[in-house]
Amino acid sequence: MVTDKTVMGKFRVDGKVALVTGGDKGLGAAMAIALAQGGADVVVTSRSGRADQTLEAIAQAGCRGAALSADFTNRAAAESLVDEVLEKFGRLDVLVNNAGIQRRADVLDFPIEYWDEVMDVNLNACWILSQRAARHMAERGSGKIINIASVLTFQGGFRVHAYAAAKHALAGLTKSMANELAGKGINVNAIAPGYMNTENIEALVADPVRSKQLLERIPAGRWGVPEDLAGPALFLASAASDYVHGHVLVVDGAWLAR
């Protein structure tokens, strides 16, 4: 509950419970820690069910944390997750759909198995979790859903056909859900990171030619880092964004502006 009515106080999320999928490392860990530093108890997921470093940082922020196992290539994992959070913490105020995978292959050889896997994790799980979270939030009259999109929500990229399709669709889902849920006190928005130095772009960073091409095109002159999403995530999870609905917030070092 926000008790500090100042502008800075509106960025607090004290007493809230957040779920961050894929919160054991990278972007998810940075956002989970930011939410805890803002005052929220945070549940994170990973395939292994372990997130020791993230949980330690959450505890250092003075908040409760928990890690749950979830492999979103199995639809049942998404279908049961919100109930698990409610069982542990009794409420869910913030959902961050961050878990994602990347598969690369030329368009003529792109395996259907890659397509299905990416769609299951990057899109289908987001829909299932968002719908279930929204049902709980609608009963309470408030909630925040944050989808992690990508600059490939707006571009095609190369050799990442399923990923680009899923991220395009995620923007549409963000807007369609926002239209129906805004009147119920629920904000649905997305963050579109640029090229962030995480395992998803390891292949690009390791390629001296492609890496040079990408860095030269980023006006900020550097790869993004997970901490670049901490502020945007806290903003969209807090009362500071209460009149922001259906928006895709780009965090890309001006990549798309170029």
* Annotation says 114 is catalytic: no
Best CA proximity match to 184, nearest among 225, 220, 141? 141
* Sheet architecture: strand order including 17-20: 65-69, 41-46, 17-20, 94-97, 143-148, 186-193, 248-251
> Which of the residues 114, 163, 195, 243 is marked catalytic?
163
CA 161 from centroid of its chain's CA atoms: 20
Interstrand relation of 248-251 and 186-193 (parallel, antiparallel or unpaired): parallel
DSSP annotation string for 182-243 = GGGTEEEEEEEE-SBSSGGGHHHHH-HHHHHHHHHH-TT-S-B-GGGGHHHHHHHHSGGGTT
Catalytic annotation, residues:
163
